[in-house]
Amino acid sequence: MNDLKVISSYPNPDLEVTHDNKPRWHQPKTRRHGFHNLYRIPRYVVSFRAAKVLHLETNINASIGMRPDVKKMLETMHFSGMVVLKNQELIFERYANDFHHAHPHTIMSISKMTLNLICGELISKGLLDPNKKVKEYLPEIGTGYAEATIQQVLNMDLSNSYTEDYSDPYASSFIHETTLGWRLPSKEIPEVNQKTFLSSIKQIGTSLENKTGYADYKSANTDILAWVAEKVSKRSLREWMINIVEATGIEGNWHMHTDRDGFPVVDGGVNLCARDLARFGQLFCRYGMGVDGSQIGSREYIEKTRKNYGPKNLPPKDFYNYSNQTMTNGTWLGHGGYGGQFLLANPETGISISFFSVLQNKDALDLDYSVDMVKMMEKISEEY
């Protein structure tokens, strides 16, 4: 009989937390590889495809690529890909040398826009009341959300112990990554599922009132809404995601991270190619009308999101507001993604624009760069 030997192993190098309390995929020198491959790096990932694909006619408008604001953004070292759709016409497309049209890219917090569709549908059907408190739907929730209204959560307009300061490597949003499967757990930060993590968030002080005067951005808010939506609709979040994928008519895969229990990471877990992200933007241009004839979300709610928006974003991004899990200037809707992405959809012109890039500085933040990106997309959506 052979002697039993100790089996050797080592921590997954992509997910092991090292310098600056970040895993390898998130380190500045390897972040570009990480963002280009985040569809397969986390511990738990599901994938969906659509039965019917939104057909695109190629009709390139060369003047877009000649614009100084576009050339400035495309010539940076950060750039990955950009697509402009006008209804069903592909009018602009460009990629970096290390990226291509079918390659998935993390869209980070652009994923949050799915909750505008889900909550909009539930509110329009009377199943969800935005004026009710979270505890009325989730009696088991902790003090960090119990007394908040659904509308406060939708508009990023509450204060609690969850922090999302990207310059702080120990902010709650980074600790949250253990739950999302984006990093390995430790003795200090064990792995728990989403619902346990969300319930551990606490109230600070005497109320949850946001006293900053600006949107108080918290990715956990989106996961709270997803949990509420699943409970009131009696439909799994997985089923909701499949319906959104079918309505969008993507050509490739909708790669989506989950927690250990399979609960989808709606706060930032979707990965798409640039064309399919722009197709997702077209779903908002069509006010939720799906390519398969379905209706996802609510036309009235999307209009309300554009016109009755919530608190402004912090300067220099205060030229648009945070409203119902989207960002809007009153005309376009969209959302940014941590580290260099944005999706913008203008229902009045039928233009949707996806932009992928990867900031490789310490905090993956550059406010001037982000403002230039959004301003460029805003002008294109108005002028073509």
Burial 111-150 (b: 16+ CB within 10 A, else e): bbbbbbbbbbbbbbeeebebeebbeebbeebbbbbbbbbb
Per the omega criterion (within 30 degrees of 0), is the bond before 316 cis? yes
Q: What are phi and psi of 184, to 5 degrees?
A: -80, 145
The closest of 366, 306, 307 to 342, measured between CA atoms, is 366
Domain ranges of the chain: 19-383
> Strands, DSSP E only, in 226-347?
254-257, 270-272, 321-323, 326-328, 333-337, 341-346
Q: Assign domain 19-383 to its CATH superfamily.
A: DD-peptidase/beta-lactamase superfamily (3.40.710.10)
pLDDT the model gives residue 66: 97
pLDDT the model gives residue 24: 96
pLDDT the model gives residue 215: 96
pTM of the predicted model over 0.85 = yes
d(CA 72, CA 89): 24
pLDDT the model gives residue 159: 97
Q: Which residues 6+ apart lie within 8 Å of 193 measured at CB? A: 179, 259, 260, 261, 263
pLDDT the model gives residue 182: 98
Angle between helices 113-124 and 274-285 (to 10 degrees): 30
pLDDT the model gives residue 7: 86
pLDDT the model gives residue 258: 98
* Residue 316 and residue 325 in contact, taking contact as beta carbons nearer than 8 Å: no
pLDDT by position in tens, the chain (length 384): 566 678 899 999 999 999 999 999 999 999 999 999 999 999 999 999 999 999 999 999 999 999 999 999 999 999 999 999 999 999 999 999 999 999 999 999 999 999 999 999 999 999 999 999 999 999 999 999 999 999 999 999 999 999 999 999 999 999 999 999 999 999 999 999 999 999 999 999 999 999 999 999 999 999 999 999 999 999 999 999 999 999 999 999 999 999 999 999 999 999 999 999 999 999 999 999 999 899 999 999 999 999 988 999 999 999 999 999 999 999 999 999 999 999 999 999 999 999 999 999 999 999 999 999 999 999 999 999
Q: How far is CA 176 from CA 179, 285, 307, in A?
A: 6, 32, 33
> Mapping DSSP to helix (H, G, I), strand (E, B) and coil, where does residue 73 land?
helix
pLDDT the model gives residue 1: 54
